[in-house]
Structure 1
């Protein structure tokens, strides 16, 4: 953005304000101004203001306006009286302005050098603002479309360190005993907090069926508080060396099967060890079946279906349409595909088959199995009018629209990461059937912390921008 100055008189001064305010959610807001020419006198003001401030004077000379001026190096805070702040600036200089929403301060930089805090106790919705007054003044503003001269990323890291230091310096509050709800003494709270953290970790390991890890953690990390063993009763009750060892192993086998894409095996194990789970959780069974179809299509990915006499597209349409037709329409499919024309061409072999009866005979074994299972899936949920079911089926069957779905816009469906939500949902259903919570306490703490951070950011609390739960706490 460029701006040119006018004449020398005060009444000829003018300012320009950005279209959008600086969002507190970013934590720090920084921009730089390149002085292309100081013009006749260099009466250039750089700063910020509220939306209601008149734009006929330099930044800092009005209420709710702050600025740093190049002709005298003074800072102006909501008045025409300035205070010595930094050096003057002129043609060729780059002046940066930064608002720190964590502590409500603002500072400037000159040619990449930090000049110190200029303003404090800043609040409200503020907009970047530049003012010029004399003839020939010319500037250009950089909001990040090119590299800054000042290392703002380094400053961001420093601010993040300061915030975490402040968080860690807070005294640990007393923790109430889960059995008596009586506050524990401050002297014992740190030890108690450690026990609580151990309990959270143990419950997480048990919840997800990590039996060997849980055993090792129980042996090496979990220690009871001397004189008050009640603080770790929950950990002891979930100790894998007790009743939950076999259950953890069974749930881990089921989880591993889903994560490997072996959906039929996962269903078989679930029905063997937990026979009531799938019949009473139809939505999870639906997720498993959709995932099974996706895994089957993954096995088919890359195989080419070709036909003689230029009927390639016709056969592909048969495969696409087959899942959406009624059984009475089979004759229509037979009319579309000639018995001797279907050829399956793979990388190392090709086969010609005869006797097309349903529009599927003659297809590669993996493709044929996927088509038949897909038709079964479609038939079973044809009359289910729930939007989430319709949407899931539409998304799942979209894999049929591409010769090689691995190279299509729906390739993400084949990604193994899609198995994890299904595995987690099944594991939670098993635990609920045993009267246990569907989500481990540690995950609840994480989710609640995420909600709190989002709410803080939504309400303009700048400090929230310096905390990233995934990067800071999980990695």
Structure 2
């Protein structure tokens, strides 16, 4: 079947309009990926107490504005020394958390911790007004916008460390005491929420930790457990096709021409992979098209042998390089130039650029990669330069993927042009990304969004 498909490669496929340059978004340099992740999660963090917008019934004890002591008379219920953080809690993350240390519980131990909105009356304990929530030390009660508290946890006093957090995964507020979880309640509060602490009787003194110092509570372990708990819910969803995960992995290997790995995968699983049926007969998946050729082309590009790649394409799929101004020709020529730089053959690189890259100077679509590739000539040690990533394996892989997509696009049986660019696994990941952003939008732009690069880096840090 493969031989027959390869023989028919002269027929134009449905994917002739697909732009393989779109694959470049997967192969950003590590710095670009880190910058993209940082921009996605960029939010100013609470760093100190806001001593201006406050009740004023306290003294700032430290110059870093992270500790307060009560100065009021404690004659009335509104004689509260309440103070918010200088910024609201960040929302683009799975969890936000901060802690306060009770340095002195004072006369009545009426310290409290929680979250309030920007319209909160700054002479009231958190939880005593609507759109606020507070855990109080004198009775261990939780107050959620009502004058009467509800039984929640243990009391706290001098020497205790109390934490408050927002779990955006479960949409809950949670509180801790001395490193242990006390409990959680639904997050009914709307709008930006400010970390808030309060003192209410003589001698009470608090310190606040917004993350500058290690927390008493294992917040990273808590986040991991919450993610695993969310994952367990997903794992319970039954799929109609029992071998769907096997099929997804197999289709990925087929799509990118990893024939040897595919054979090992099938041998290790020793299962009959799922396939479509028509009239009672199994049909090979469209990704099997040109598999042996695509495997060899990938191996050639990953080894840096671009000259042989051109030769084999001319023999097997001449329509892919028929247009000398095509994207594929540009990518292969630019990679050949990069391989000269890698081999430190600078004179050959210059000659090759003049002969094969100069004609692409007027193409705006190629301008970025072309400029960066040629700029390698300017560095004595190009591998150590800001564009040294062009000499790394991912750049070869980008070109190999583009060639792979171009070959798949020549398949006359290819019905969906997009399918030559992305495997089923990648389309699922793209859908996951969209859904995660939709969920965050549904939760008023609160919570973590899925970004594959960030998840991979997180796994790498966990292994280390």
TM bucket normalised to smaller = 0.7 to 0.9
Deviation of the 1:231 alpha carbon: 9.7
Deviation of the 1:419 alpha carbon: 0.9
2:370 is aligned, of 393, 396, 409, to: 393
Could you tell me which residue of structure 2 aligns to residue 257 of structure 1? Answer: 300
Indicate the structure (1 or 2) with the bigger Cα radius of gyration.
Answer: 1
Q: Equivalent residues in 2 for 1:26-425 (5 A)?
A: 26-117=93-184, 119-125=185-191, 126-172=193-239, 189=240, 193-194=241-242, 196-215=244-263, 220-222=270-272, 229-230=277-278, 236=284, 244=289, 247-280=290-323, 282-300=326-344, 366-384=345-363, 386=364, 388-425=365-402
Q: Does 1:447 align with 2:430?
A: yes
Deviation of the 1:3 alpha carbon: 2.7
Q: Distance in 2 between the 1:204 and 1:395 partners?
A: 31
Deviation of the 1:462 alpha carbon: 9.3
Give 3-state SS (helix, strand or coil) of 1:116's partner.
strand
Question: What do you get for the CA RMSD once the two structures are aligned?
Answer: 3.1
- Residues 235 and 451 of structure 1: is their aligned pair in 2 closer, same or farther, counting only changes over 3 Å? farther
Structure 2 unmatched runs, 5+: 1-65
String of CA shifts for 1:262-293, please: whole Å, max 9, x gaps: 22221221122100002347112112222222
Deviation of the 1:116 alpha carbon: 2.5
Q: Distance in 2 between the 1:415 and 1:100 partners?
A: 39
Give 3-state SS (helix, strand or coil) of 2:343's partner.
helix
Q: Distance in 1 between the 2:204 and 2:255 partners?
A: 67
Deviation of the 1:102 alpha carbon: 2.8
Normalization by structure 2: what TM-score?
A: 0.73
Q: Distance in 2 between the 1:232 and 1:239 partners?
A: 21
Deviation of the 1:122 alpha carbon: 2.7
Deviation of the 1:233 alpha carbon: 5.7
Q: Distance in 1 between the 2:451 and 2:287 partners?
A: 32
- Are the equivalent residues in 2 in contact too, given 1:208–1:427 (CA < 8 A)? yes
Q: Distance in 1 between the 2:257 and 2:357 partners?
A: 33
Q: Distance in 2 between the 1:408 and 1:432 partners?
A: 36
Normalization by structure 1: what TM-score?
A: 0.72
- Are the equivalent residues in 2 in contact too, given 1:42–1:90 (CA < 8 A)? yes
- Are the equivalent residues in 2 in contact too, given 1:60–1:66 (CA < 8 A)? yes
